[in-house]
A and B are shown apart, each in its own frame.
Chain A
Amino acid sequence: MGWSEVDTVSVLLGGFAEALTPENLLWCLIGVVLGTAVGVLPGLGSAMAIALLVPLTFKLEPTGAFIMFAGVYFGGQFGGATTAILLNTPGQSSSMVTAFEGFLMAKNRRAPQALAAAVLGSFIGSVIAVTLVVFFSPIMVDAAVSFGPAEFFALAVFAFVATSAVVSDNKLRGLAALGIGLAIALVGIDEQSGAVRFTFGSTQLLDGISIVVVTVGLLAIGEVLHVASRAARSPATQRITSGTPWLSRKDWRQSWFPWLRGTALGVPFGVIPAGGSEIPTFLSYGLERRLASRRGRSQFGKGAIEGVAGPEAANNATVATSLVPLLGLGLPTSATAAIMLGAFQQYGMRPGPMLFTEEADLVWALLASLFLGSVMLLVLNLPFAPIWAKLLQIPRNYLYAGIVVFATLGAYAAKTSIADVVLLYLVGVLGFLLRRYEFPIAPVLIGVILGPLAETELRRAMGIGQGDVGILFRSPIALVLYGLLVLAVLIPLLARKRSRVRATARDG
Chain B
Amino acid sequence: MTSTKEVRRPSPLAGKGELIVVALVAAIGLFLLVQSANMAVPGTAGFLGPRFFPIVVGIFLLVLSALLAMQTLRTPRERDTEQAEGEDREPGGIDWQPLGIVALTLALHAVLLEPLGWLIAGAGLFFGVSYALGGRHVLRDLGVSFVVAAAAQLGFSAGLGIALPAGILGGVV
Interface residues of A (CB under 8 A from B): 56, 58-59, 90, 96, 169, 172-173, 175-176, 179-180, 182-183, 186, 190, 192-198, 221, 224-225, 227-235, 395-398, 400-402, 404-406, 408-409, 412-413, 416, 418, 421-422, 425, 428-430, 433-434, 436-439, 454-455, 458-459, 462-463, 466-467
- Which residues of chain A come closer than 8 Å to B169, judged between CB atoms? none
Q: Is the CB of B133 within 8 A of A172?
A: no
Which of A56, A182, A227, A232 is B160 in contact with, Cβ under 8 Å? A56
B120 adjacent to chain A (CB < 8 Å): no
What mask results when residues 53 to 77 of chain B are scored 1 for a CB within 8 Å of chain A, else 0? 1100110110011011001000000
Quick one: given A96-B86, A421-B110, A436-B17, are A228 and B102 in contact (CB under 8 Å)? Answer: yes
Contact across chains for A408 and B109 when beta carbons are under 8 A apart: yes
CB nearest neighbor in B for A406: B152
The residue that B48 contacts in the complex, of A90, A221, A409, A458, with Cβ under 8 A, is A458
CB contacts (< 8 Å) of B116 on chain A: these are none
Whether B134 and A231, one on each chain, are in contact in the complex, defined by CB atoms closer than 8 angstroms, is: yes
* A196-B41 Cα distance, complex, nearest whole Å: 8
Contacts of A173 in B (CB 8 A): 68
A-B pairs with beta carbons under 8 Å apart, 21 shown = A59-B161, A172-B71, A176-B65, A179-B61, A192-B50, A194-B44, A195-B51, A231-B95, A232-B1, A234-B134, A401-B125, A401-B127, A408-B109, A421-B109, A421-B110, A422-B110, A433-B24, A438-B79, A462-B48, A463-B48, A467-B47
Once the chains bind, are A192 and B46 in contact (CB under 8 Å)? yes
- B162: chain A residues within 8 A (beta carbon): 413, 416
Partner of A193, one of B41, B130, B144: B41
- Cα distance, A192 to B42, chains bound together (Å): 10
| A169, A401, A434: the one within 8 Å of B130 (CB) | A401
Q: Are A193 and B50 in touch, CB under 8 angstroms?
A: yes
Known: A233-B4, A428-B106. A197 touches B39 (CB 8 A): yes
| A213 vs chain B, min Cβ distance (A) | 13
**A193-B41, A231-B98, A405-B122 are known contacts. Are A59 and B48 too (CB-CB below 8 A)?**
no
12 further A-B contacts with Cβ under 8 Å, apart from A397-B129, A462-B47, are A182-B57, A183-B57, A224-B102, A228-B133, A229-B98, A229-B99, A400-B129, A404-B102, A413-B162, A436-B17, A437-B20, A454-B53
- Separation in Å of the A234 CB from the closest CB of chain B? 7
Contact yes or no, A459 B95, CB < 8 A: no
> A193 contacts B49, CB within 8 Å?
yes
A195 and B71 within 8 A (CB):
no
Residues of chain A within 8 A of B2, CB atoms compared: 232
Please indicate the chain A residues that have their CB under 8 angstroms from the CB of B141 in the complex: 397
Residues of B within 8 A of A (CB): 1-2, 4, 6, 17-18, 20-22, 24-25, 28-29, 31-32, 35, 39-42, 44-54, 57-58, 60-61, 64-65, 67-68, 71, 79, 82, 85-87, 89, 92, 94-95, 98-99, 101-103, 106-107, 109-110, 113-114, 122, 125-135, 141, 144-145, 148-149, 152, 156, 160-164
Q: Are A437 and B122 touching (Cβ within 8 A)?
A: no
Enumerate chain A residues within 8 angstroms of B102, measured Cβ to Cβ.
Answer: 224-225, 228, 404
Find out whether the CB atom of B110 lies under 8 angstroms from the CB atom of A397.
no
Residues of B within 8 A of A234 (CB): 4, 134
Least CB distance, A121 to chain B, in whole angstroms: 22
Given that A96-B86, A228-B98, A232-B2 are contacting pairs, would A198 and B35 also be in contact in the complex, using a CB cutoff of 8 Å? Answer: yes
A230 touches B95 (CB 8 A): yes
| A56 contacts across to B, CB distance below 8 A | 160
Q: Which residues of B contact A467 (CB under 8 A)?
A: 47
Contact of B126 among A401, A434, A454 (CB under 8 A): A401
**Do A172 and B68 have beta carbons less than 8 Å apart?**
yes
Complex contact B42–A186 (CB within 8 A)? no
Residue among B17, B25, B35, B131 with the most chain A CB within 10 A?
B25
Residues of B within 8 A of A462 (CB): 47-48
**B residues within 8 A CB of A463?**
46-48
Complex alpha-carbon distance, A176 and B72, angstroms: 14
Find chain B residues with CB under 8 A from A413 CB. 156, 160, 162
The distance in angstroms between the C-alpha atoms of A117 and B148, with both chains bound, is 38
A179 and B47 in contact, given A395-B135, A404-B129, A437-B21 (Cβ under 8 angstroms): no
B39 touches A179 (CB 8 A): no
Chain B residues with CB under 8 Å of A235's CB are: 87
The docked-state distance in angstroms from the alpha carbon of A176 to that of B67 is 10
| Residue among A183, A227, A405 making CB contact with B32, cutoff 8 Å | A183
CB nearest to B137 among chain A residues: A395
